[in-house]
Structure 1
Amino acid sequence: MRRLAVLAAFAAAGCSTAVAGQPVPAAGGDEDDDRVLAYFAALNDAGEEGPGSQSDFLRRTQHPDFTDRFCDLDDLVLRMAPVESTLRPDPQWRPEKSAKAPRGEVYVVAVTVTIRRDSTTLGEQIGSQRVVLLDGEAYGFSPCPAE
């Protein structure tokens, strides 16, 4: 049951089953692409250290305009594998139930998300994730498990 709740949480956190549109080069070029991809590498590195390290990473990198929406994943660890060819700007995107866009440059990329507890894979999902570049830093939006 928790697996279904976690998978549902990714839809609420900006994941979807498909990334609409055609891939185009990001407006900021290779440097922005590198920062977005480095965000996922750091997320995965933190996950290799365990759920506490990954939670700390997600808290530190939660977009500053949306810190009130941070959710702890308890003992779950995420691994996100972005598909670089799908990375593109997404300036019209707004977080769910938000009237305002996050400050910064919003990028969207298709990812394969693997959800683990200890060494057990609970599920995989293909979706999209947003990363925002603001003042030279990459920020994301922590997924929230459904109650």
Structure 2
Amino acid sequence: MAESVEVLITASVLPSYAHPGDAGADLHSSQALVLAPGQRALVGTGVSIALPDGYAAFVVPRSGLAVKHGITIVNAPGTVDAGYRGEIKVALLNTDLAEPHTIAVGDRIAQLIVVPVSRATFIPVDRLPGSQRGEGGFGSTGLTQHITGTDTSGDNQ
């Protein structure tokens, strides 16, 4: 079982895990609104947290909202730093081109994942060490290369 961490919280509705073993706790809307096709809105959750040092929380989309209604988060994942004490708000986007989506107070609109984080020490160098992947970027390990033998090591970014 994963380590548990205590998070201090003020909330109109507490985030909750739907099932044992879930990584994300559901965040609920604290306001009612209608998202028109293509519209985005910053939606309150009524939740403020105090994370311990060495932790961050990430606000991520709910897969059911994305698949069934085209509702996602514009800046997914949204990052909540340990020092932030304000309300967690979610930048929702309706990607459906035809249908508006109604959100009621209390609807589950996102998930909150709390994770330990490491702080990096950045060391400037003139050249990075090599790796098997090298500079291969977006699409450099795509299926096309495997099936057709197409060279994808060129500029595909």
Normalising by structure 1, we get a TM-score of 0.28
- The structure with more radius of gyration: 2
Please report the TM-score for the alignment, with normalisation by the length of structure 2: 0.26
Q: Which has the higher strand share?
A: 2
